[in-house]
């Protein structure tokens, strides 16, 4: 056995020492060493998982897939148990110091007392091996524990997907506190956190399981480290089994509900646990994320606000993708909205018309006050009669001339005397002049109107115009009167000659008529001369005799 273990260790060492890229090319020697190393590890871990069906990793003649499956079988329950342990230690850090490296043989002894009482030698061998390999295995155990912590993936394929990863992680684990731990990542905190999570998970399972769990929990709490470990291992066994089953089931039946929790209660917590486990099964980055989340939970409000805003944004974006409600659409007819939906919505209109006035008593009172006021004033808006045009001519207003008379008193008397004597030669008065002007104007107007109204010709009316015509030959008047006017028109015939009867010229007269005219002439002349001289002519006659 020691040989085998040595060989195994050597194989491990050799693997670690090889140049990494050489793993990429298929190499039979390398595969042999890898198989040997994995077998060694398997058997090293074998005592920790009591229920594992395989005692030894069957490597010869098996291909990679089959080897993986075997490793899987062993590691899955182991991981959960380790996780629980780590949690526990995270909660009670003092116990870590109290932790003794339990000789695996003892542990196994106890277990095998229950199951396999025959194989004592085996136990002893194991004991020896374990004592020799204590440290290494411790380390490995620790390594593996660390692995479990850091990687945590219960989907074991990830865990042992590559031996390289394992070993690298083992290396990392060895580096331990130095390499990984910085101000963010603290293994202790991590372990505590993991313990908590485990407990929550257990509590969930408690609800499902019932009394058994309670018993075991209480057992767990009561016992010491060693016993705890034992019972933990017992628990582990059962839980591992349960977990294994459950997890296997969960992996097979991973459904929508697991991720999105359609059914409340049962699956939501399982989902949460899975998510937690999923989150744990990632690289260092995720661990950092976890720690960051922890920090969020405790500290910055800005991050909280950001989260809130982001969730709001998501909600709004979701709402925008859906079709709008009918109230938000533009013109909605009755056909486009659900029945009677307009009754439920509080519709508000802007009325563009002033509403009809409600006739209250105040309004009536105000109107009546106004009416009373108008009555007292006597101010009404009645229809006024139009002023009729006067049918009678206005009475003559006698205008008195205030100015001083231009004529002297003697002249006034003279005019009056002349008026008496000869009524025709009266000077025109002021009023008469106006009247004359008016009549002249009216005659002109009348002429025009007649011309408009009649079809037949109407001659110009004679406007009597009194003016003195001088019997002057045309030559003298030439300048004044127009050429067209001859003296014949200016003077009427009787103005030229006024005579009566049959007028004869001298050539037309007979002898007797001539004599008669001469006799008349002489007689007239004598009469006129007698008038002038009187008696003088008779006296002259007497003296001469």
Partner 1 sequence: MLRRNIRMRREYLYRKSLEGKERLLYEKKRKIREALQEGKPIPTELRNEEAALRREIDLEDENTAVPRSHIDDEYAHAAEKDPKILLTTSRDPSAPLQQFVKELSFVFPNAQRMNRGGQVISEIIESCRAHDYTDVVLVHEHRGVPDGLIVSHLPYGPTAYFGLLNVVTRHEIKDRKAIGTMPEAYPHLIFDNFSTKLGERTANILKYLFPVPKPDTKRIVTFSNQSDYVSFRHHIYEKHGGPKSIELKEIGPRFELRLYQIKLGTVDQAEAQIEWVIRPYMNTSKKRKFLSD
Q: Rule CB under 8 A: which residues touch partner 1?
A: 351-354, 356-357, 359, 363, 367-368, 370-372, 374-376, 380-386, 388
Per-residue tokens: 147: 């692995």
Least Cβ distance, residue 361 to partner 1 (angstroms): 13
User: Considering beta carbons, is residue 27 or 434 the nearer one to partner 1?
Assistant: 434
Q: Least distance (Å) from partner 1 to the CB of residue 358? A: 8
Q: How far apart are CA 105 and CA 115, in angstroms?
A: 14
Q: Which residue has the tokens 């030669």?
A: 425
Number of neighbouring beta carbons within 10 Å of residue 111: 18
Between 377 and 479, name the residue whose CB sits nearer to partner 1: 377
Q: Residue 289 or 371: which CB sits closer to partner 1?
A: 371
CB atoms within 10 A of CB 516: 12
- For the chain, the maximum distance between any two Cα atoms, rounded to a whole number of angstroms, is 248
Minimum CB separation of residue 377 from partner 1 in Å reads: 10
**Complete DSSP assignment for 495-537:** HH----S----TTT--HHHHHHHHHHHHHHHHHHHHHHHTTHH
Question: Taking the complex as a whole, how short is the minimal distance between the CB of residue 379 and partner 1, in angstroms?
Answer: 8
DSSP state of 478: T
Question: Exposed, middle or buried, 412 (CB in 10 Å: 0-12/13-18/19+)?
Answer: exposed
Please say which residue, 344 or 377, places its beta carbon nearer to partner 1. Answer: 377
Closer by beta carbon to partner 1, 335 or else 393:
393
Least CB distance to partner 1 at residue 462 (A): 29
d(CA 130, CA 45): 11
Closest CA to 238 of 219, 218, 216: 216
Cα separations (Å) of 545 from 70, 246, 539?
A: 226, 216, 11
The Cα angle at residue 190 between residues 185 and 193, in degrees rounded to 5: 140
- Burial (Cβ within 10 Å: 0-12, 13-18, ≥19) of residue 107: buried
Find the shortest distance in angstroms from Cβ 356 to partner 1.
5
Q: How far is the CB of 366 from partner 1 (least distance, A)?
A: 9
Residue 368 or 513 with smaller CB distance to partner 1: 368
State both tokens at 184: 């963010």
Residue 318 or 351 with smaller CB distance to partner 1 = 351
| ∠ CA 100-106-112, rounded to 5° | 145
Residue 537: partners with Cβ closer than 8 Å, 6 or more residues away? 529, 530
Provide the H-helix boundaries in 160-283: 163-175, 187-209, 211-222, 225-252, 256-260, 266-280
Using an 8 Å Cβ cutoff, are 22 and 30 in contact? yes
Q: Which is nearer to partner 1, 97 or 352 (CB)?
A: 352
> Closer CB to partner 1, residue 375 or residue 463?
375
CB of 392 to partner 1, least distance (A): 18
CB 86 within 8 A of CB 148: yes
Report the residue number, 383 or 466, with the smaller CB distance to partner 1. Answer: 383
Closest CB to partner 1 among residues 292, 372: 372
Sequence-distant contacts of 20-23: CB under 8 A, at least 24 apart: 20/164, 23/164
Cβ burial, residue 313 (10 Å; 0-12/13-18/19+): exposed
Taking the least distance from each CB to partner 1, the nearer of 29 and 397 is 397
Q: Is 378 left (phi over 0), alpha (psi -120 to 50) or beta?
A: left
Task: Please identify, using beta-carbon distances, which residue of 25 and 383 lies nearer to partner 1.
Answer: 383
Find the shortest distance in angstroms from Cβ 461 to partner 1: 25
Return the SS3 of 187.
helix
The least CB distance from residue 455 to partner 1, in Å, is 21
Other CB atoms within 10 A of residue 174 CB: 13
Contact between 238 and 216 under an 8 Å Cβ cutoff? The reply is: yes
Rounded to a whole number of angstroms, the minimum distance from the CB of residue 357 to partner 1 is 5
């Amino acid at each position: 056995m020691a040989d085998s273990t040595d060989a195994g260790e050597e194989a491990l060492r050799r693997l670690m020492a090889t140049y990494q890229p050489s793993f990429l090319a298929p190499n039979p020697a390398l595969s042999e060493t890898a198989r040997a190393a994995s077998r060694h590890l398997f058997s090293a871990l074998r005592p920790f998982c009591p229920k594992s069906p395989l005692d030894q990793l069957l490597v010869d003649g098996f291909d990679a897939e089959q080897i993986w499956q075997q490793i899987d079988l062993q590691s899955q329950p182991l991981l959960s148990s380790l996780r629980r342990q780590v949690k526990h230690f995270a909660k009670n850090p003092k116990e870590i110091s109290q932790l003794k490296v339990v000789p695996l043989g003892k542990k196994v002894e106890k277990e095998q007392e229950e199951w396999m009482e025959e194989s004592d030698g085996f136990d002893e061998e194991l004991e020896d091996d374990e004592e020799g390999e204590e440290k290494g295995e411790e380390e490995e155990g620790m390594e593996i524990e660390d692995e479990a912590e850091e990687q945590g993936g219960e989907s074991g394929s990830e865990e042992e997907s590559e031996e390289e990863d394992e070993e690298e992680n083992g290396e990392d684990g060895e580096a331990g506190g130095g390499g990984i731990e910085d101000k963010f990542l603290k293994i202790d905190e991590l372990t505590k956190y993991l313990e908590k999570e485990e407990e929550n998970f257990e509590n969930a399972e408690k609800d499902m399981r019932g009394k058994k769990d309670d018993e075991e929990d209480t057992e767990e709490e009561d016992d010491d480290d060693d016993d705890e470990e034992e019972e933990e291992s017992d628990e582990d066994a059962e839980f591992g089994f349960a977990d294994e089953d459950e997890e296997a089931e969960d992996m097979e039946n991973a459904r929508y509900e697991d991720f999105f929790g359609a059914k409340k209660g049962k699956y939501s917590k399982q989902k949460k646990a899975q998510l937690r486990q999923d989150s744990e099964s990632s690289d260092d980055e995720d661990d950092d994320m976890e720690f960051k989340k922890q920090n969020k939970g405790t500290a910055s409000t800005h991050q909280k606000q950001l989260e809130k805003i982001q969730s709001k944004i998501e909600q709004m974006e979701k709402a925008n993708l859906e079709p709008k409600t009918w109230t938000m659409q533009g013109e909605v007819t009755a056909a486009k909205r659900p029945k009677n939906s307009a009754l439920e919505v509080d519709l508000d209109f802007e009325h563009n018309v002033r509403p009809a006035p409600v006739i209250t008593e105040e309004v009536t009172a105000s109107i009546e006050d106004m009416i009373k006021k108008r009555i007292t004033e006597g101010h009404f808006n009645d229809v006024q009669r139009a002023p009729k045009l006067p049918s009678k001519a206005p009475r003559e207003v006698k205008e008195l001339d205030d100015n001083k008379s231009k004529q002297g008193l003697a002249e006034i008397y003279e005019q009056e005397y002349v008026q008496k004597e000869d009524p025709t030669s009266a000077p025109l008065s002021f009023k008469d002049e106006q009247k004359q002007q008016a009549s002249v104007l009216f005659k002109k107007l009348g002429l025009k109107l007649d011309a408009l109204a009649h079809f037949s010709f109407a001659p110009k009316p004679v406007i009597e115009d009194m003016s003195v015509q001088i019997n002057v030959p045309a030559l003298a008047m030439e300048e004044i009167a127009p050429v067209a006017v001859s003296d014949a028109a200016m003077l009427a015939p009787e103005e030229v000659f006024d005579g009566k009867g049959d007028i004869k010229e001298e050539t037309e007269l007979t002898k007797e008529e001539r004599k008669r005219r001469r006799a008349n002439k002489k007689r007239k002349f004598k009469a006129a001369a007698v008038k002038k001289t009187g008696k003088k002519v008779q006296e002259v006659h007497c003296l001469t005799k």
